[in-house]
Amino acid sequence: MTSPVFRRSRWLIAILALLVIAVGLASRRGLVQFPAVLGNYPGDALWAWVVLLCVAWVRPAITRGRLVGVSLVIAFAIEFLQLYQAPWIQAVRANKLAYLVLGNGFDPLDLLAYVVGIALGAAVDWSWQRWRQVR
């Protein structure tokens, strides 16, 4: 017997994404403080969590394993895209919104931050599913 499909609420995903984005932007402006030793990596982890939320919004019934896998592929692909520095993509990155989405400059430690952010998002997703099952 297979377990019933867990279908996420797009409304709740959107609200959570806005909250995570707000915390991430606030951290970049110094309004939310993370330990200085972590540098910009908490913001990178939050960015990856938003990637996971975007995937979940597009496919609300996706299994958690696929959700994590697709999110990691997207986050890693965007990080590796930062190795490409052609003038046209640099012009795109000059736009503030594009810069926030695409970043600029490859940092291998960002990959670890993405794993942490996506793991945090998956843990919240798991908790959300458990809470709904208990209710």
pLDDT of 94-123, one tens digit each? 999 999 899 989 999 999 999 999 999 999
In this structure, which amino acid lies at residue 70? V
How confident is residue 134, by pLDDT bands cut at 50, 70 and 90? Answer: confident
Most confident of 17-21, 28-32, 35-39: 17-21
Using CA atoms, how far apart are residues 31 and 123, in angstroms rounded to an integer?
25
Residue 64 CB partners (closer than 8 Å, separation 6+): 6, 122, 125, 126, 129
Per-residue tokens: 65: 């394993």
Cβ-count burial 69-86 (b if 16+ within 10 Å, e if not): ebbbebbeebbeebeeee
How confident is residue 132, by pLDDT bands cut at 50, 70 and 90? Answer: confident
